Amino acid sequence: MVQYSATRLDASFAALSDATRRGVLEQLGRGDASITELADRFHMTLTGMKKHVGVLEQAGLVTTEKVGRVRTCRLGLRGFEEEVAWIEERHRIWSLRFDALDQVIEAMKRREKADGRTRE
């Protein structure tokens, strides 16, 4: 069974609560970027962007690597996949349930129609 770490999920959900940080994740989904590039892209100061990246990094959603004077950010896929898996599992189960409910409703409708016909 898949185990989700609660503290890990906490950090991830907090990280995802900010529109800029979601934007950064989306951007990194298209390719790695340096902090400077991200700051430019989101019209922020370097310090501001560093803080956002720090939050994402702590949540395990982003990893960074400093080569020379440039710090490159990339998606920390493991964390992100955990979020997606969490909600997708819930979606899978509700879909199964509701597909079964569709069939029950269909049967109820057929029955009602048949009963109506007998009464007429």
Partner 1 sequence: MGERVSDGRTTVERKSDCELVVTRVFDGPVRLVFDAWTKAELFQLWWAPKSSGVPMLACEMDARTGGGYSVTFGKDAGSAMTFYGKYLEVTPPSRLIWTNEESEQGAVTTVTFEEEEGDRTRLVLQELYPSKEALDESFVGMEDTMPEQFRQLDELLATQAANV
Binding site for partner 1 (CB under 8 A): 1, 4, 6, 9-10, 13, 16-17, 22, 83-84, 86-91, 93-106, 108-109, 112
Paired with 75 in beta bridges are 62
Tokens linked to 117: 């016909």
Provide the minimum distance between the beta carbon of 43 and partner 1 in the complex, in angstroms, as a whole number. Answer: 22
Tokens linked to 20: 């800029």
Whichever of 66 and 97 has its CB closer to partner 1, that residue is 97
| Maximal CA-CA distance, the chain | 85
Whichever of 13 and 29 has its CB closer to partner 1, that residue is 13
- The SS3 call for residue 104 is helix
Provide the minimum distance between the beta carbon of 91 and partner 1 in the complex, in angstroms, as a whole number. Answer: 4
Provide the minimum distance between the beta carbon of 34 and partner 1 in the complex, in angstroms, as a whole number. Answer: 27
What does the alpha-carbon distance between residue 111 and residue 102 come to, in Å, rounded to a whole number? Answer: 14
Whichever of 41 and 109 has its CB closer to partner 1, that residue is 109
What does the alpha-carbon distance between residue 20 and residue 90 come to, in Å, rounded to a whole number? Answer: 26
